[in-house]
Structure 1
């Protein structure tokens, strides 16, 4: 099947390992369609440098490579419970509410 007809996309995550030894170019040449940048780690400068490098290598290889920015979603943080520990058994219902009431 030609590469143009392939519907499945290959997604790879960028990080320190893809910054060295020409690894990013190898990954793109091997068929990566999308590169993912985890914005929970690294600095804005790191992300810009990697995005610029992706664009440079993709142009050199004549490939289109999408860049996916993975943003951290909301975190649930739980402090203490009003009456200490809560023990749950199978089938028990538990309501987790943002109201500290």
Structure 2
């Protein structure tokens, strides 16, 4: 104990060493962790590509979203008209291709 009545540095270091030595965790296998991380990333990329390819562009959904933004005041009248025209024009181009 030090003068303030708290454990000193030596006793704290000894306690830390004892706790870390009694840890029940097995040693880390870096190759296994790397394999699992790469596998998780590959699974996430596959899920994203499945989601992206499954989404069908829907004009009505986009226009409803714009109407909600316009109604809430997040889009001005001019911004609403410009965005609406852009969505319709983009869909026309997609339809023609």
Q: Same fold (TM over 0.5)?
A: no
Structure number with greater CO (CA < 8 Å, separation at least 6) is: 1
Higher fraction of strand: 1
Q: TM-score, normalised by structure 1?
A: 0.31
Structure 1 or 2, whichever has the larger Rg, is 2
Greater helix share, 1 or 2? 2
